[in-house]
Amino acid sequence: MPARASYAEAGGGFVPSIQGLRGVAAMSVLIDHFCDMPKGGVYDIPNPGFLPPIWPWLQSVINSGGHGVELFFMISGFLIPASLVRHGSIGKFMYDRMLRIMPVFVVLHLALFVAGPIVGYKFFRGIDLPTYLQVFFANLFFVQDAIGLPIAQQNAWTLTYEWAFYILFALCFGAVVRLKSWWLAAPLILLGFLCILHWPITAFFVIGMLFSASNLRFRITGAVGVVAGLTCFAAMYAALDVLHPFAALVPGFLLFGMVLATGSGMAGLLSLAPLQYIGKISYSLYLVHPFVLFPLQVIGLKLVDRGVDRWLLWSGFVIFGLVLALIASALSYEIIEVRLRRFIDGTLRHILARKMAQSPAA
């Protein structure tokens, strides 16, 4: 299965706790949007929104869920070096990354740019054809921020960071392993360091890389391990909110070390069946859920203008949004991540095999 194939250490196999952590990361971002999307003034609908009056501290806690992104970065930092070593080829590695990342993204990208102008979503209102094409291709190649164009898919901005990490690490791998030259790798490492200084959240990739390159683990068993892990989890999110991403690196480092430790309390918690399934569909859940929540958001913003109770609207938004997001993500995983990916891979391999068979050298 594609999800299972993504979790391989250099000398090992599937890591259940990593899959569970991906589920936590995706659910964390989803919970943030349960609080953020019901606010007023969203998508050019001018009203006070249907988020009921909740305690400010609770709203801050819910909004911190967006830091699930940093969990994803740690996971990528851990898995990508091992994946590149396992493939043994930059070309094969990038091909695998394309198959893993692009099918779901491209399907949603096309759906958004077809439906967006029809429903008047965000920047599509009054957009002209040249701007439409600019935004389309800029987002397709993840360069929208670099050229100052709007982000299309709400969560896809993180894929820009992911692709930059894939390319930079692959180039370093090629310089050191293939060309045996640290001199060629030095400018790339310096570039990575400068990126961390400019975009501090990218430092979380380094945490994963450190654990990928070592056997360092923090095995705290039982309930004590669960409490320790949850404490580090809360401390990491709090530091990201009120301090600085660099301050969150220490609790993030401790948390990830406990997640990776076989037999630890956190590893056991993250290996529970519900989190394993959510982790399996986490990539689809991360990208698909804004598409599911958007129509519910529009309905809620219209009903609150008609005097419907905000607590009722928000409860319905959360309950129906969660159920529909999980269903849509499960379908996306089975249809796109598994079947479409398999079809694309098989088709491309068939075309390549046929061309090789027809070449004069063959």
Query: What are the tens digits of pLDDT across the range 142-168?
Result: 999 888 889 999 899 999 999 999 999
pLDDT of residue 87: 85
Residue with tokens 């960071």: 161
9: pLDDT confidence band, cut at 50, 70 and 90?
very low
Whole-number percent of the chain with pLDDT over 70: 93
Q: Are 277 and 95 in contact (CB under 8 A)?
A: no
The three-state (H, E, C) secondary structure of 217-234, written as one string: CCCCCHHHHHHHHHHHHH
125: pLDDT confidence band, cut at 50, 70 and 90?
confident
Q: What is the mean pLDDT of residues 318-331?
A: 97
Query: Is the pLDDT assigned to residue 197 strictly greater than 50?
Result: yes
Structure tokens at 108: 């949603």
CA atoms within 13 A on the CB side of 293: 31
**CA dist list (Å): 310 to 34, 35, 283, 294, 336:** 13, 12, 31, 17, 36
Q: What is the mean pLDDT of residues 19-25?
A: 97
Query: Is the pLDDT assigned to residue 362 strictly greater than 60?
Result: no
pLDDT of residue 69: 95
Biggest CA-to-CA distance, the chain: 75
Please state, as a whole number, how many other Cβ atoms lie within 10 Å of the Cβ of residue 306.
Answer: 6
Enter the pTM of the model. Answer: 0.91
Length of the chain: 362
Q: What is the mean pLDDT of residues 269-292?
A: 96
Pairwise CA distance, residues 123 & 297, whole Å: 17
Residue with tokens 């009203």: 47
Q: What is the mean pLDDT of residues 270-288?
A: 96
Pairwise CA distance, residues 321 & 338, whole Å: 24
Query: Is the pLDDT assigned to residue 177 strictly greater than 60?
Result: yes
Burial 341-358 (b: 16+ CB within 10 A, else e): beeeeeeeeeeeeeeeee
Burial zone of 141 (CB within 10 Å; 0-12 exposed, 13-18 middle, 19+ buried): exposed
